[in-house]
Structure 1
């Protein structure tokens, strides 16, 4: 493996270095304004000074920061770290129960959040004794919930620069909670070293440099995209509008080189009839080099459609919160539909047998294990992590295989696969077959508990409007099932099918499989 090096600096040093290198260059662009690296650095300084004043400069004080798709998050995230405090990432899309868990588990004492989140926190304050201040980041008119204050008011009278802090690179920089798809969300402890290493790994894997312009068409501001762009000195364009055609127009208008989107949104974009009718230049043509996707599997048919219509590779990546998060990425020149690519620089990957735990060779299915400098320090509140072995290998819980070129192909989650007559069934594979049927708008597959066979394949289908024929819907479901079963092995055959209005999903767009399994188990038991 080639030697991999990354800056030996704290996370906020990424912003400081970009500001020193190109103070007037555009760091973040929104529909309202463009912010230079120097301006963003100055805003981070003010927030850092504020945090120091209200925590007494206590190292490691935990501050909740909502990762809204706005420049205020970039300034808040780096400002908190510059103060010597620890960022607790707050997903503004989670509900009241999720917020209660995040703030209670982390002990965050200050929150930098939008007004909608502040309203919920105001209700929860009696149950969160550690939380003494809620700062609203999107209240220019100063109208905020009771007991909260707007950001511009909070910064009145605050020094322009904080007191210098010497950061321990192995200290926790960020607490990021998992999505909770397999249980109660856990707080992942990421050190400065983890985050900076993965920023460099991502910049290299995505081929970012100072001439790159990235469009983030995401519901949240992901730290991976923020810090990899800062490491490379790239411009970030934030597009919160959910309309995929709007995001492509933004990409074309800003000269974007990289377009980041979630699979759920890219699936909708590929199916949007307006896409094919739009001129190539307005579809993000010009400088665009790649569409990049991660978080969950991107269907092959959607990737093919987007590649044909946009004229650029549609690149899939892989990772998770515990790995800061990126570990694998396809390369545009070595693109193969369905793979998630080779490990990013400085990362090792192996597969282990699901029964024996011993490493397996190429093309053999096993659990994915990863090690590298981006591997978390552990989980919040846990002294040891059972998922990290004595040699530093992290068990991801994903099942896959590696090909002759070292590219990783994912089969499914270990928690999601099940057995029918001792044969392993991959819900993702069955979903992939169902998704090719033009009558299916969305689908989800899970195991229906069965005493005789172990698990029966259950499929929930969201039908396209033209396929939903009212009283004949059962005939349509039977036809879709029969067509899919012709392409599936006998043990993969769909035994139970039902129509759904929508596939339940997590705030990050992944199917809520744990909830679905619980519901199926309850129904099977009754």
Structure 2
């Protein structure tokens, strides 16, 4: 494996370095304003000064909501610069999940939007560690009674560079990021300064980001992967909060975006939108866009092909987990994507596949659990006394099932918790979903195992129809199942099928298979397939 090097910076050093190199370069652009790297660094300094005073010590846990705006990056780097540990707070969480995150992380100071501050007000008596709530979007000054607007918190804070003295050790925990919880209670992942800085450099190199790059983030929330890699490269970021995928494409064109980052659910809608065919009419010859990059979960190959044909650029997919800071594999923007693959390992990253039973390493095209080793592998879980998923040699067991080809490209089959056995044969829900979604009558599909006393489990498929019939959908559903079953192995064949209004998903777009499995266990009767 080629040697991969990166500087031993603290997390906020990514921003400090970018601002020193090009203080007047655009860092962030929204529909309202543009913030330069120099301005962003200064804002991080002011927030750091306030937080250092409010916390009274280094090491305090500071919750920061990852809203897609210019406040989050300043708060994220500012909290780290003040010597705090940043706990990422998803502002879309319900009360129970928000309490779990804040209580588990022991958040002491929270920088959150007003809606999240109102939730915290209701939870305050159950969060004894929480001392201060700062509202980041209170432009009119209206906040809950026990909170303070950000502009008021910063009032009187000098507009000077913040000097924290000795910086943190590279191995110190910089950030707590919680898993999505699709297979259980969300876990707090302990990510070090080294983890995050190394992964920022890995992604910047693999995605071919540089100071001339312009990234379009069409995301519901700000992901630190996109933030850190762009800041590492000194790239400009366009934050598009309009949920309309075609509108986001227009924003990308006007901004001269080189990289378009989106979630599979939104990219799927874009691929299906009839406006896509004419979305690029009038675009000057030689557009700057070099790639559409999808992450979070798998994008259906058919949708990727439609986007590639319409936009004329590669549709790139990758693979990662919160435990990997978060990326370990990606297709490269300049390479021809291989259908079904999430690409090769990032620089400085090793990957292998091991047998599910013996744990012995497997050869190419043999299916087993994916393991990863590299500088981005987490320090461990927060308050978890279970067996470590990282062995003595540094191999992290991902919980994902897949295989490697002769060129080191990774192909994922499914999560260990999602695959199931039918008559002792392993069934991959994602494999079945891809075949069902090739049917032009199907907009989306989700598959889970339905408990069965004879076979262990049988395939249940939920489909969202493109054009639902006026009457009963059963004949269409039966036809879809029969069409797919002709291409599936006997143990993979659909035994039950149901029409859904929508596939239940997490805020990051991953199918919530647990919700469907619980419903099937409860005895709800979907339609039987032919």
Partner of 2:228: 227
CA separation of 1:310 and 1:281: change in aligned 2, threshold 3 A: farther
The CA RMSD over aligned residues, in Å, is 1.5
- The worse-fitting range, judged by mean Cα deviation, of 82-91 and 497-506 is 497-506
Partner of 2:147: 148
- The reply to whether residue 478 of structure 1 matches residue 478 of structure 2 is yes
Deviation at 1:468, TM superposition (A): 2.5
Whether contact under 8 Å (2:264, 2:295) holds in the other structure is: yes
> Could you report, residue by residue, the CA deviation over 1:215-249 in whole angstroms, capped at 9, with x for unpaired residues?
00011111011111111110011001100111111
Structural mapping, 1:295-310, within 5 Å: 295-310=296-311
1:131 is displaced (CA, Å) by 0.8
Assess if the C-alpha contact under 8 Å between 2:52 and 2:58 holds in 1. no
Find the counterpart in structure 1 of residue 3 from structure 2.
3
Query: Contact 1:256 / 1:284 at 8 angstroms: preserved in 2?
Result: no
Aligned to 1:396: 398
SS in 2 for 1:341: strand
Report 1:98-117 matches (<5 A).
98-117=97-116
Q: Deviations over 1:180-202 (max 9, x none)?
A: 00100000000000000000000
- Partner SS for 1:433: helix
* In structure 2, C-alpha distance between the alignment counterparts of 1:443 and 1:284, rounded to whole Å: 37
Matched with 2:348 is 346
CA contact (8 A) 1:283 1:310 kept: no
Report the 3-state secondary structure (helix = DSSP H, G, I; strand = E; otherwise coil) of the residue aligned with 2:249.
helix
Q: CA deviation at 1:521?
A: 2.1
Name 2:528's counterpart in structure 1: none
Displacement after TM superposition at 1:278 (Å): 2.4
Question: Given that residues 177 and 187 in structure 1 are in contact (C-alpha distance below 8 angstroms), is that contact kept between their aligned partners in structure 2?
Answer: yes
Provide the residue aligned with 2:179 in structure 1: 178
C-alpha deviation, 1:277, in angstroms: 2.3
SS at match of 2:196: helix
* Distance change >3 Å, CA 435–CA 77, structure 1 → 2: same
In structure 2, the partner of 1:75 is 74
Distance change >3 Å, CA 384–CA 288, structure 1 → 2: same
Deviations 1:377-398 (A, max 9, x none): 0001125752111111101011
Shift of residue 147, structure 1, vs aligned partner: 1.1
Q: Residue 21 and residue 402 in structure 1: after superposition, are their counterparts in 2 closer, same or farther (change >3 A)? A: same
Within the alignment, does 1:197 sit opposite 2:198 as a pair?
A: yes
Q: Distance in 2 between matches of 1:317 and 1:60?
A: 33
How do 1:382-421 and structure 2 match up within 5 A? Answer: 382=384, 385-421=387-423
Question: Which residues in structure 2 correspond to 1:112-511 (within 5 Å)?
Answer: 112-160=111-159, 161-165=161-165, 166-282=167-283, 286-331=287-332, 332-382=334-384, 385-464=387-466, 466-471=467-472, 473-511=473-511
Task: Write the distance in 1 (CA, Å) between the matches of 2:239 and 2:230.
Answer: 12
Distance across 1 between alignment mates of 2:304 and 2:144: 44
Structure 1: gaps of 5 or more residues: none
After TM superposition, give the deviation of residue 285 of structure 1 in Å.
6.8
* Alpha-carbon separation, structure 1, partners of 2:406 and 2:99: 47
Take 1:513 and 1:285, find their aligned partners in 2: how far apart are those partners?
42
Q: Deviations over 1:6-63 (max 9, x none)?
A: 111100000000000000000111111110000000000000000000111x121000
Deviation string, structure 1 residues 278-304 (Cα, Å, up to 9, x no partner):
234559971000000111011000000
1:33 and 2:33 matched: yes
| TM-score w.r.t. length of structure 2 | 0.96
Alpha-carbon offset, residue 406 of structure 1: 0.7
CA distance in 2 between partners of 1:291 and 1:461 (Å)? 26
With over 3 angstroms needed to count, the CA separation of the structure-2 counterparts of 1:418 and 1:284, relative to structure 1, is farther
**For residues 348 and 493 of structure 1, what CA distance do their matches in structure 2 show?**
35
Match of 1:87 in 2: 86
Is residue 62–residue 86 contact of structure 1 (8 Å, CA) maintained in 2?
Answer: yes
Structure 1 position 504, deviation (Å)? 0.9
CA distance in 2, matches of 1:38, 1:347: 33
The question of whether the paired residues in 2 share the 8 Å contact of 1:448 and 1:524 is answered with no
Q: 1:281 to 1:407 in 2, by over 3 A?
A: farther
Task: Check the 8 A contact 1:427/1:446 in 2, yes or no.
Answer: yes
Say which SS state the counterpart of residue 354 (structure 1) adopts.
coil
TM-aligned CA distance change 1:385 to 1:209, over 3 Å? farther
CA contact (8 A) 1:251 1:284 kept: no
When structure 1 is superposed on structure 2, of 42-51 and 138-147 the one drifting more is: 138-147
CA contact (8 A) 2:280 2:311 kept: no
Q: State the distance in 2 between where 1:375 and 1:280 align.
A: 44
Distance 1:109 1:410 in 2: 39
